[in-house]
């Protein structure tokens, strides 16, 4: 393994992590990265085993800043009353079950399904003449949807997006100390806004803030939970939508089949992007006791970086993993949403948003093309990767808004599961 060349924040790794992920899986499946101090775990079976064993592998470090925050910046956070006690993703204690149940109540399959028409209409509203599908559509839509799902009103969406992107960079980026200072101010403002809203919540409201109050969750825990949820519940889906639109638009034949409403194809494309290029590329755990993983002895307290993006391309699990193959068998075995006790609570909502947005854009603009073929600028954080722009050519919308359903000949579809690319 080219240990010296592996740079988890480098431009090459961000542009295409797959060559390094392949080398890690084959040469050094549990690999110590001296730059971050993390142990990189890259094979599907090992990552799944770690996620399935919450006793040996704790989630406590899930939200720890990968670039240590120096004391003066910590003081900025402390002055804002900022703290992230164990609540959901970073909670290995008994309080996790109750808090998870409370949030799950807002994300039941029935409640999520009830948002399908609303997602389509929000998408239509943003499609007057799209020039960049990231800025026009992917950036804000998931935030608007999440607030409605959680019953939260009076939200300044641009402010919330600025706070949440700053928070991602502070905790998962590699910023300079000056930059950390700016980001900490933003993270602190976000936390203070949440604390105010939780304190002001109506005791009999049906929104998330009220539910936390009714549950008796202390304000500090409630603010920490909301801080994570309001970021995780929309930034990840923004990233999914941008990657999805960019990747599928690179295959005009696939786009034509989506525009023709081929049943199940949009959902299959979402799954294939989650497998091969998941928005959450890595997630962390820490060993609670000495363990041996893939033949490597790890002490208690060893911080692990689970390479989720690499697991979806493990040839032991997925045949021809480099091919983009919507409808492949076993497609949903990927670990893009984690596994086990902390499995993503928003998986259903994220999948629905991806499917509805892809279908709606393709129907409305059957001739849409990427305006630039070269690789887009990418967000490249420790755990998040996605295009930061998806420039599209200005097409004429389909006259009826929805294209008439046409049968694509079976031969052109490449059989039942479609052709791999």
Q: Which stretch binds ligand HEM (CB under 6 A): 118-126, 191-199, 235-243, 401-409?
A: 235-243
Instruction: For ligand HEM, give the closer residue by CB, 76 or 89.
Output: 89
Helix axes 219-232, 208-215, angle to 10 degrees: 150
DSSP calls for 236-250: HHHHHHHHHHHHHHT
Q: Which helix (H) or strand (E) holds 283?
A: strand 283-287
Residue 339 touches ligand HEM, criterion: CB under 6 A = yes
Q: Which stretch binds ligand HEM (CB under 6 A): 175-183, 249-257, 330-338, 372-380?
A: 330-338
Count of residues of this chain found to bind ligand HEM when the rule CB under 6 A is applied? 30
Q: How far apart are CA 77 and CA 313, in angstroms?
A: 39
3-state SS, residue 379: strand
Q: Which stretch binds ligand HEM (CB under 6 A): 26-34, 133-141, 254-262, 340-348?
A: 340-348
**Which residue number places its CB atom closest to ligand HEM?**
346
Residue 380 touches ligand HEM, criterion: CB under 6 A = no
3-state SS, residue 51: helix
Q: Alpha carbon of 122 to those of 69, 242, 357, 389, 391: distances in Å?
A: 38, 16, 9, 19, 20
Q: How far apart are CA 24 and CA 27, in angstroms?
A: 5
Binding track over 265-304 against ligand HEM, x by CB under 6 A: -------------xxx--x---------------------
Query: What is the nearest approach in angstroms of ligand HEM to the Cβ of residue 413?
Result: 26
Closest listed residue to residue 43, CA positions, set 24, 70, 59, 57: 24
Query: What is the nearest approach in angstroms of ligand HEM to the Cβ of residue 200?
Result: 22
Query: What is the nearest approach in angstroms of ligand HEM to the Cβ of residue 402?
Result: 26
Q: Using CB under 6 A, which residues numbered 86 to 105 contact ligand HEM? A: 88-89, 100, 103
Instruction: For ligand HEM, give the closer residue by CB, 20 or 277.
Output: 277
Rg (CA), the chain: 21
Q: How far apart are CA 101 and CA 152, in angstroms?
A: 19
Q: Which stretch binds ligand HEM (CB under 6 A): 158-166, 246-254, 337-345, 407-415?
A: 337-345
Residue 240 touches ligand HEM, criterion: CB under 6 A = yes
3-state SS, residue 125: helix
DSSP code of residue 4:
G
Residue 346 touches ligand HEM, criterion: CB under 6 A = yes
Q: Which stretch binds ligand HEM (CB under 6 A): 5-13, 30-38, 189-197, 331-339?
A: 331-339
3-state SS, residue 360: helix
Structure tokens at 366: 């059957």
Q: Alpha carbon of 257 to those of 188, 222, 262, 268: distances in Å?
A: 46, 45, 6, 12
Binding site for ligand HEM (CB under 6 A): 51, 59, 88-89, 100, 103, 107, 146, 229, 232-233, 236-237, 240, 278-280, 283, 336-340, 342-346, 349-350
């Amino acid at each position: 393994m080219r240990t010296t060349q592996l740079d988890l924040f480098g431009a090459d790794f961000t542009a295409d992590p797959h060559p390094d992920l392949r080398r890690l899986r084959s040469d050094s499946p549990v690999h110590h990265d001296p730059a971050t101090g993390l142990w990189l775990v890259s094979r599907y079976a090992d990552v799944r085993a770690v996620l399935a064993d919450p006793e040996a592998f704790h989630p406590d470090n899930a939200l720890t800043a990968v670039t240590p925050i120096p004391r003066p910046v910590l003081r900025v956070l402390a002055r804002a009353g900022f703290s992230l006690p164990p609540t959901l993703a970073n909670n290995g204690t008994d309080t996790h079950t109750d808090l998870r149940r409370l949030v799950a109540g807002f994300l039941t399959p029935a409640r999520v399904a009830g948002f399908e028409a609303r997602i389509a209409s929000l998408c239509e509203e943003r499609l007057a003449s799209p020039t960049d599908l990231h800025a026009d559509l992917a950036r804000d839509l998931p935030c608007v949807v999440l607030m409605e799902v959680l019953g939260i009103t009076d939200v300044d969406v641009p402010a919330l997006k600025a706070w949440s992107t700053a928070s991602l960079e502070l905790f998962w980026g590699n910023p300079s100390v000056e930059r950390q200072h700016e980001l900490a101010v933003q993270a602190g403002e976000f936390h203070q806004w949440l604390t105010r809203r939780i304190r002001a919540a109506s005791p009999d409201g049906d929104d998330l803030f009220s539910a936390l109050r009714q549950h008796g969750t202390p304000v500090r825990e409630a603010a920490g939970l909301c801080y994570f949820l309001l970021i995780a519940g929309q930034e990840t889906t923004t990233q999914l939508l941008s990657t999805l639109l960019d990747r599928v638009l690179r295959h005009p034949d696939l786009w034509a089949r989506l525009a023709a409403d081929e049943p199940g194809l949009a959902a299959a494309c979402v799954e294939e992007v989650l497998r091969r290029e998941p928005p959450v590329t890595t997630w962390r755990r820490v060993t609670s006791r000495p363990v041996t993983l893939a033949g490597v002895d790890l002490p208690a307290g060893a911080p692990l970086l689970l390479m989720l993006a690499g697991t979806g391309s493990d040839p032991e699990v997925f045949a021809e993993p480099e091919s983009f193959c919507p409808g492949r068998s076993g497609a949903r075995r990927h670990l893009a949403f984690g596994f086990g006790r902390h499995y993503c609570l928003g998986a259903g909502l994220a999948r629905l948003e991806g499917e509805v947005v892809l279908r709606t854009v393709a129907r409305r603009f059957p001739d849409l093309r990427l305006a630039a073929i070269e690789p887009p600028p990418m967000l490249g954080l420790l755990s998040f990767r996605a295009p930061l722009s998806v420039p599209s050519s200005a097409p004429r919308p389909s006259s009826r808004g929805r294209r008439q359903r046409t049968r694509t000949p079976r031969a052109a579809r490449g059989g039942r599961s479609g052709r791999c690319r």
